[in-house]
Chain A
Amino acid sequence: MFEWFSLAASLEVWKTNYCRADFTRCARFEASARGRPVAPNLLPNGSLLRKPGART
């Protein structure tokens, strides 16, 4: 997911908020650091990528 954020300027906000700032609040980092599996659709803010239009 990090590489997606690196390759599109419009996704820069994720890197700004969760990589360059306090990376310990990145949900992906947190799960990985605790040894938990990291879901492929888990975003750094803890929300999940879902089908457009689906209820969250």
Chain B
Amino acid sequence: MTERWPFWAGGLALAGVMLLHWLTVHRMMSVSSRFSAVVDRVRWGRAEPVEALSPEELREALLAATQAEAGVGVPAPPASLPVPQEGIRPPQPVSTHLLFLGGLGVGGLLGATLSGTFSVTTLLRSSELEALAGGSGPGQAALLVGGGALVGFGTRMAGGCTSGHGLCGVSRLQPGSLLATAAFFGVGVAVSFALAGLT
């Protein structure tokens, strides 16, 4: 099997993975933020543990902190204050992030192996990118590394990637995610046309 899945099957599969993640982990699925968390851990070391708070505990703690800040009695925040329904939850440990990121690689490897398309190569298989980087391995590797760095910069700046914004944010009609997804897909289409024009 070397053909790509039809678009609707790919969409359903991605939605299924996202839903499965939500039902089992009770968190929005994200990839770039997991990578950021690993980098943050390497760069800044172990962070102070975050204590889990229920919504009620969160409202109470918020009231106490606000009274301490204001120095006078302040009315309690309304019970309808839209704090997250899960309250505050500690971030997942780095080992979980590494397991998830490793699973992406293993899943890709498994898919390629089962479909009989797995092979090890140092060259890209795209005529457009070959035209851009030449036929040499180092040139193409530099292009990949540069592209990866730009993707990392963009997703960090936008606060999410195609999984966080595109799948989870858009499905919840989050304005920022709609804008971010429109921006990075729009630029992707424009760059594709530009590369096609170069060849």
Candidates B74, B81, B88; contact of A13 at CB < 8 Å: B74
Q: Are B81 and A4 in contact (CB under 8 A)?
A: yes
B66 touches A10 (CB 8 A): yes
Which residues of chain A are near B37, meaning CB under 8 Å?
Answer: 37
Closest Cβ neighbor of B60 among chain A residues = A52
Chain B contributes a number of interface residues (CB within 8 A of A) equal to 33
Q: A9-B75, A36-B44, A40-B89 are in contact. List 15 more A-B contacts (CB 8 A).
A: A3-B82, A4-B82, A8-B78, A13-B66, A13-B70, A14-B66, A14-B69, A35-B43, A37-B37, A39-B48, A43-B65, A48-B51, A49-B53, A49-B58, A50-B53
A interface list, Cβ under 8 A from B: 3-4, 7-11, 13-14, 17, 35-37, 39-41, 43, 45, 47-52, 54
Please give the residue numbers on chain B whose beta carbons come within 8 Å of chain A beta carbons, in ascending order.
Answer: 36-37, 40, 43-44, 47-48, 50-51, 53, 57-58, 60-66, 68-70, 74-78, 81-83, 88-89, 91
